[in-house]
């Protein structure tokens, strides 16, 4: 594994951890007013709710646990994800379904329109955009903060477990090889005096 692999893994980790960090910073996914947009074409809430609904979050977890990484970067992954997991576990989370109010900058509506229509078609937001005159700055999402947190934590635990089990498998392999070498050494010690006598 080289620096290029580590850099790629860190990019994946940044995108993956963003979901947990964003959930923490939004008061368990309920307060989105203070969270800035990720880019011009989508706000943070669009990326967050789209990502946990369309499998993006899951795909990032899968990419991080890709076989080439797990035997090399356990320390980096644990150092990045364990503190985030601890924060998520310690936070107080509201139970049940909530109507989450989310906003857009109406001046950027043309940039957001395609994503908003997709979110509407996917049933993530419940405001159907009829036409260009039907522009609003506030939309609503039904979400259960406790379920969202569980989903995020499940993903993080899955990644950590995969790296831990890979490390344990590596240790078991080394222990097995060590036992084989010890057996070989014992056998050589037993046969060495016989060989000397034969000489």
Instruction: Assess if residue 116 is contained within a domain.
Output: no
Instruction: Assess if residue 125 is contained within a domain.
Output: no
- pLDDT in the model for residue 121: 85
Instruction: Assess if residue 159 is contained within a domain.
Output: yes
Range of the domain at 192: 3-95+150-198
Query: 0.85 cut: is pTM over it?
Result: no
Instruction: Assess if residue 49 is contained within a domain.
Output: yes
Helix (H) or strand (E) holding 139: strand 138-143
Instruction: Assess if residue 37 is contained within a domain.
Output: yes
Q: Categorize the per-residue pLDDT at 1 as very low, low, confident or very high, splitting at 50, 70 and 90.
A: low
Instruction: Assess if residue 129 is contained within a domain.
Output: no
Instruction: Assess if residue 47 is contained within a domain.
Output: yes
Number of domains in the chain: 1
Cα-trace Rg, the chain: 25
Instruction: Assess if residue 124 is contained within a domain.
Output: no
CA atoms within 13 A on the CB side of 196: 6
pLDDT in tens, 86-110: 999 999 888 888 888 888 888 888 8
């Amino acid at each position: 594994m080289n620096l290029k692999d580590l850099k790629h893994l860190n990019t994946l980790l940044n995108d993956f951890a963003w979901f947990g960090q964003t959930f923490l910073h939004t008061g368990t996914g309920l307060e989105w007013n203070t969270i800035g947009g990720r880019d011009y074409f989508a706000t943070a809430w669009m990326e967050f709710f789209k990502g946990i609904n369309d499998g993006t979050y899951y795909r990032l977890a899968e990419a991080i646990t890709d076989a080439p990484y797990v035997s090399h970067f356990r320390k980096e992954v644990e150092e990045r994800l364990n503190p985030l997991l601890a924060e998520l576990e310690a936070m107080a989370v509201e139970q049940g379904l909530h109507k989450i109010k989310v906003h857009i900058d109406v001046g950027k509506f043309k940039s957001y329109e395609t994503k908003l229509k997709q979110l509407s078609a996917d049933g993530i937001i419940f405001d159907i955009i009829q036409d260009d005159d039907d522009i609003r700055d506030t939309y609503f999402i039904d979400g259960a903060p406790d379920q969202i947190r569980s989903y995020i934590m499940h993903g993080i635990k899955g990644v950590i477990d995969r790296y831990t089990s890979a490390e344990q498998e590596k240790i078991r392999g080394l222990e097995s090889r060590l036992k084989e070498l010890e057996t070989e050494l014992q056998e050589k010690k037993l046969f060495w005096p016989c060989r000397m006598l034969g000489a």
